[in-house]
Amino acid sequence: MGHLLMVESWVGSMSTLLPHGIRDRGHRFSFLTRDLGHYLRTATDARHPLLGATNILTAETNDEQAVVDTVRRLHQVFEFDGVLSSCDYYLPTVAAITADLGLPGPSRDAMRAACDKATTRRICSAAGVPGPAFAVVAAWDEITTAAERIGYPVVVKPVDLCGGMFVRRVENVDRLRDAVEAIAGFPVNARGQVRAPDVLVEECLDGPEYSVETVTHRGRTTVVGITDKYVVGSDCFIEAGHMFPATTDPEQSAAIGAVAVATIEALGLDGTVAHTEVVVTARGPRLVEVNPRPAGNRITELVRRVTGIDLAAVHADLAAGIEPVLAPVDTGIGSAAIAFLVPDRAGRLESILGAGQWSLDDRIVDHHLAAAGRNVRVADNNNEYLGYVMVVDEKPRAASELAQRSIAGLRVAYHDPGTRT
């Protein structure tokens, strides 16, 4: 099968699931990074799947032209069949490499547009994809004017970060200033890339939120399914849980899926797995954002357990130019859910108790809890979880209740006063 080049990776669930998906399809991969230490610091042991690459290569992946030139030379030796990444910050670089080498993958323009929230908004709005009122602004007077025009509360977000970082719901101009200053105070992302100065000011969308998991191949987009999203936070948007498939009726599912498909078509994405977030408002479904790669937060595992479709493996097949197999199989599972332990206070973690009976319940198929000694901060994005539990049930719509109840039953203790998150 194919020899794939993986250019960087997220260090969360997809750093494990994508290498497994590659191997499950009979492919092998080489791993290209600018900083191997970034992954060694997060690996729990030397057997981390990323570190099991056929080759581990280094290059300055933050310099697109330099890495394209480097991979062109590597290609003469290793003969790559495809290039991929799970990390949003490097998806445009992957598209530039595949274009240079003539390998399968989305176009450079489509990928750049999909990875920039401002460009996505502009293109999708012009194409008639339903979304919030918005403005792309940088100067303070432009920001305040946009917020007043749209009407408080508004959502303020950076155009080029992930995981809900610095996305805030603001009620007035004072909170608006705080949100904008927080974004400006983070000028370089976690991968050392200088960020854009623009911010998005958007209408606040009220209603239940979903994600649409899709695969686009040769211009045809298949909706694999829709995932429920459980969001917490008074002024931020933290994903506290997911369930697949969502508790939507066929008509609502079709409407939600149509927004995702229209988004992908407007951006011109092809040859990719995508994870598109949609809020169902009183006026109907509205686009939140699109992520042109497999979903994080182990959503792909929920999909696989219910349908048998491994979207990480599909991502690998698409990179190798192989037509994906998207026919669901009967797994005997009607629903799968994950719930996260979200900290609402800071301190040094002493213990997490209450999971002792989890191993006795066959419906609980995976879980992880943070180790004692961790320095915990109050969560304001999707990167601060203290753990998760994954649940399956033979019945549709049933798994989420046990997942949420299991997390709610945990007791979190700190070395300083206070015992419960």
165, 212: one domain? no
Judgement on whether residues 417 and 321 belong to the same structural domain of the protein: no
Residues 341 and 234 placed together within one structural domain of the fold = no
Do 388 and 368 touch, CB atoms closer than 8 A? yes
Query: Would the pLDDT of 256 be above 70?
Result: yes
Residue 125 lies in a domain: no
In this structure, the answer to whether residues 246 and 148 fall within a common structural domain is no
Measured between alpha carbons, how far is 355 from 200 in angstroms, rounded to an integer?
A: 41
Residue 327 identity (one-letter amino acid): A
With pLDDT > 90 as the criterion, what percentage of the chain qualifies? Answer: 93
Domain boundary (302, 331, 360) is at: 331
Which CATH number does the domain housing residue 312 bear?
3.30.470.20
Last residue of a domain, one of 301, 331, 361: 331
Whether 96 and 72 share a structural domain: yes
pLDDT at 46: 57
Q: What is the pLDDT of residue 105?
A: 96
381 and 280 together in one domain: no
Domain residue limits at 53 = 3-103
- CB under 8 Å to 381, separation ≥6 — which residues? 163, 164, 165, 166, 167, 236, 238
Q: Which two tokens stand for residue 395?
A: 């019945």
| Cβ contact 310:14 at 8 Å | no
Kindly state whether residue 122 falls inside one of the protein's structural domains. Answer: no
Half-sphere exposure of 58 (CA within 13 A, CB side): 6
Average pLDDT for residues 162-186, to the nearest whole number? 97
359 in Cβ contact with 384 (< 8 Å): no
Residue 421: band (very low, low, confident or very high) from pLDDT cuts 50, 70, 90: very low
Which CATH number do you get for residue 393?
3.90.1170.50
pLDDT tens across 156-169, in order?
Answer: 999 999 999 999 99
Q: How far is CA 302 from CA 146, 215, 283, 306, 312, in A?
A: 39, 16, 29, 6, 12
Task: Indicate if the pLDDT at residue 419 is higher than 50.
Answer: no
Show which of 203, 223, 247 is a domain's final residue: 203
pLDDT band of 266, cuts 50, 70, 90: very high
Instruction: Give the model confidence (pLDDT) of 293-319 as tens digits.
Output: 999 999 999 999 999 999 999 999 999
DSSP state of 419: -
| pLDDT at residue 259, as a whole number | 98
- For residue 89, CA distances in Å to 8, 92, 190, 194, 332 come to 9, 7, 10, 11, 37
Q: How confident is the model at residue 49 (pLDDT cuts 50, 70, 90)?
A: confident
- pLDDT grade for 330, boundaries at 50, 70 and 90: very high
Tell me the per-residue pLDDT of 112-128, one tens digit each, with 9 for 90 and over: 999 999 999 999 999 99
What is the helix, strand, coil percentage profile of the chain, to 5?
35, 30, 40
Nearest alpha-carbon partner for 52 in 22, 87, 94, 95: 22
Q: From start to end of 292-346, where are the E strands?
A: 335-341
Mean pLDDT of 52-60: 95
Residue 93 is part of a domain; what is its CATH number? 3.40.50.20
The answer to the question of residue 127 being in a domain is: no
pLDDT for the residue numbered 228: 97
CATH number at residue 168: 3.30.1490.20
Number of structural domains (the chain) is: 4
Q: What is the CA radius of gyration of the chain?
A: 21
Residue 417 has pLDDT above 70, yes or no: no
- In DSSP notation, 56-108 reads EEE--TTSHHHHHHHHHHHHHHH--SEEE-S-GGGHHHHHHHHHHHT-SS--H
Residues 344 and 376 in one domain: yes
* pLDDT at 43 (0 to 100): 63
Q: What is the pLDDT of residue 48?
A: 83
**Position 245 pLDDT exceeds 80:** yes
Do the domain assignments include residue 342?
yes
Q: Are residues 172 and 69 in the same domain?
A: no
Close Cβ partners of 369 (under 8 Å, ≥ 6 residues apart): 341, 352, 355, 386, 387, 410
Same domain, 344 and 324: no
Q: What is the pLDDT of residue 31?
A: 97
d(CA 234, CA 217): 39
Asked if 269 and 376 sit in the same domain, the reply is no
> How does pLDDT run across 65-95, given as a tens digit for each residue?
999 999 999 999 999 999 999 999 999 999 9
Residues 324 and 220 in one domain: yes
Instruction: Say yes or no: 417 and 340 in one domain.
Output: yes
Residue 110 in any domain: the answer is: no
Contact 200, 156 (CB under 8 A): yes
Residues 276 and 120: beta-carbon distance below 8 Å: no
In a domain, 113, yes or no: no
What pLDDT score does 361 carry?
Answer: 96
Residue 141: is its pLDDT beyond 50?
A: yes
Which pLDDT belongs to residue 40?
A: 84
Q: Mean pLDDT for the chain?
A: 95
Q: Does residue 215 fall inside a structural domain?
A: yes
Instruction: Establish if 364 belongs to a structural domain.
Output: yes
**Average pLDDT, integer, range 25-40:** 94
